[in-house]
Amino acid sequence: MNKWIKYLHSGVEGLLLPPVCLLCGAPGSSEPRLRDLCPACRQALPWAAGQCARCALPLHTSAALCGRCQTQPLAFERCLAPFVYQAPLDHLLHGLKFHGRLAQARLLGEVMASWLGEVVDVLPERLIPVPLHASRLRQRGFNQAVELARPIARRFGLSLELDMVRRRRATPPQSELSRQERQKNLKGAFEVLRPLAGRVVIVDDVMTTGSTAHELARSLLNAGAAQVEVWVCARA
């Protein structure tokens, strides 16, 4: 019965509120989960091609490790990122992060889930969004990593851990710092509140240098996680 009610509700919603593409204003997709993105704009998104096999840095091939991962590998096992951080994806992520457009988080989370379903062989036990410090969370009103992770957790039936890790202190925005400053800025920034086991995935919006994911992964491994991966929407 619930299935039919949802089907009827979806049909009525489609008639009264036809989907519109968030990027170009054209009619949206017929796929309910991707209704806010037309097929042309979805195709035009900066899908990643060649990437470092460990940190997903854009490369000319996907079979190689970047120079940094060959000499100074990060704490996580690998990073999966469907997109390169370029236009027009940066417009969607910027609107989410700085203007509170949460519909864009739902859309991007669904796009990530669809892509991950094609590339992930073994699912983790739990998803852990990169936490914000309490002061930043109060200021912004939401955590973009959590909002991106919700559709992924629903799609795969995964546990979404929102209180597993605490950000100990309010650090300056990473975007304002150099790579060396980012590493110092995050040293000891995360506290894992409960013991862990098994495979864990960190979820975030964008990976730039990997410093945040590295420090969080290091903390999770020290707390007992057997393996840590990172799933981000885009890789810079």
Task: Return d(Cα 64, Cα 62) in angstroms, integer.
Answer: 6
CB atoms within 10 A of CB 149: 28
Find the mean pLDDT for residues 166-187: 73
Residues 25 and 51 in one domain: no
pLDDT at 80: 98
pLDDT at 16: 52
Show the domain range for 16: 1-44
Asked if pLDDT for residue 29 goes beyond 50, the answer is yes
List, for residues 65-95, the tens digit of each pLDDT value: 999 999 999 999 999 999 999 999 999 999 9
Residues 145 and 226 in one domain: yes
Task: Return d(Cα 145, Cα 132) in angstroms, integer.
Answer: 9
The pLDDT-based confidence of 177 (bands split at 50, 70, 90) is low
Find the mean pLDDT for residues 208-212: 93
Percent of the chain scored above 70 by pLDDT?
88
How many domains would you assign to the chain?
A: 2
Find the mean pLDDT for residues 107-136: 96
Beta-carbon contacts of residue 186 (< 8 Å; ≥ 6 apart): 171, 174, 211, 212, 215
Find the mean pLDDT for residues 112-130: 97
pLDDT at 183: 63
pLDDT at 160: 98
Residues 36 and 145 in one domain: no
The pLDDT-based confidence of 42 (bands split at 50, 70, 90) is very high
Q: Report the CATH number that the domain containing residue 142 is assigned in CATH.
A: 3.40.50
The pLDDT-based confidence of 171 (bands split at 50, 70, 90) is confident
Write down which residue in 13, 29, 44 finishes a domain: 44
